[in-house]
Amino acid sequence: MTRLNERDRSAQVLLIEDNRGDAVLTRRAFKRARIANDITVAESGEKGLSILRREGEYADAPRPDIILLDLNLPYMHGRDFLSTVKDDPALRRIPVIVLSSSSADTDISAAYARHANGYITKPVSSDTYDNVVSRLESYWFELMQLPPDEATPAFS
């Protein structure tokens, strides 16, 4: 087991976000992060799944180390995307952090019921965004031990 900051490559982040402004804020905050990272943005759940499954033009897409997921997406709702990822044996081990403007208890409960690894209410200012990303980075990139790339579980 390794931490993302101990790997000999950039951390791969898949951001599922349809709001361009929020995507820009998230990208900027990750650019200021201490750990090298590459962010891929998918504007819809369907595109996110195509990237994860390496379909078509995404055949060479890197496997993300972590997924940041907005809930309110066009076409496929974030809850459905989350269920699809967590129901897929090839994808379920990728941590999914919901990053949503909703702080409703029903949305938070529904995300955790679908096996989200975390839930964060979107910050409203760029300074707060930087703080949230810094904390995400500290927790998921420096503290948490994640399975090695393409690891096979010892038990199911």
Do 116 and 80 touch, CB atoms closer than 8 A? no
Domain ranges for the chain, please list them. Answer: 4-143
pLDDT interval class at 152 (50, 70, 90): very low
Count the Cβ atoms, other than its own, within 10 Å of residue 92.
Answer: 13
Do 41 and 17 touch, CB atoms closer than 8 A? yes
Task: Write down the pTM of the prediction.
Answer: 0.89
**How far is the C-alpha of 119 from the C-alpha of 121, rounded, in Å?**
7
Average pLDDT over residues 88-107: 95
Count the Cβ atoms, other than its own, within 10 Å of residue 135.
Answer: 11
Query: Could you say which of 2.60.290.11, 3.40.50.300, 3.40.50.2300, 1.10.287.470 is the CATH number of the domain covering 4-143?
Result: 3.40.50.2300
Looking at residue 156, its pLDDT comes to: 43
Find, among 56, 52, 57, 90, the residue nearest to 69 by Cα: 52
Q: Is 129 helix (H, G, I), strand (E, B) or coil?
A: helix
Q: Which of the pair, 20 or 144, is modelled with greater confidence? A: 20
